[in-house]
Amino acid sequence: MSKKILIAGAGIGGLCAAIALAKRGFRVELFEQAAAFSEVGAGLQLSPNAMQVLNELGLSEQLSAHSFSPLNATMRHYQSGAEYLSLALAERCKSRYGAEYLHIHRADLQHVLHQSALERGVKITLNAQVSAYQQTASEVELSLSNGDSIHGDVLLGADGIRSNIHTQMLGQTPAQFTGQVAWRGTVPADRLPKALVKPNANLWVGPGRHFVSYYLRGGSLVNFIAVEERTNWTKESWHERGDIQQLRGAFSCWHPEVTEVLAAADECFLWALFDRPPLPKWVDGKVALMGDACHPMLPFLAQGAAMAIEDAYVLAAMLARYSDTAAALQAYQTQRLPRTSKIQGMARANARLYHMSSMLEKSKLTALKLATKVSPMLASRPLELIYAYDVVRANRG
Residues carrying an active site annotation:
214
Neighbours of 232 (CB within 10 A): 8
Continuous segment of H or E residues that includes residue 255: none
Burial label for 270, CB within 10 Å (0-12, 13-18, 19+), is buried
Distance CA 101, CA 358 (A): 32
- Cα 195–chain centre separation: 28
How do 149-152 and 140-144 pair as beta strands? antiparallel
Distance CA 266, CA 169 (A): 42
Distance CA 192, CA 349 (A): 33
Length of the chain: 397
Which DSSP state fits 68? B
Q: If we measure between CA atoms, which residue out of 154, 307, 180 comes closest to residue 232?
A: 180
- Cα 291–chain centre separation: 8
236-242: which pairs have CB atoms within 8 A and are 24 or more residues apart? 238/271, 238/272, 238/274, 239/40, 239/269, 239/270, 239/271, 239/272, 240/269, 240/270, 241/267, 241/268, 241/269, 241/270, 242/183, 242/185, 242/267, 242/268, 242/269, 242/270
Which DSSP state fits 279? P
**Torsions phi, psi for 164 (to 5 deg):** -70, -30
Compute and round to an integer the Cα radius of gyration of the chain: 21
56-64: which pairs have CB atoms within 8 A and are 24 or more residues apart? 56/313, 56/392, 57/16, 57/19, 57/20, 57/23, 57/116, 58/116, 59/112, 59/113, 59/116, 62/112, 62/115, 62/116, 63/102, 63/104, 63/109, 63/112, 64/100, 64/102
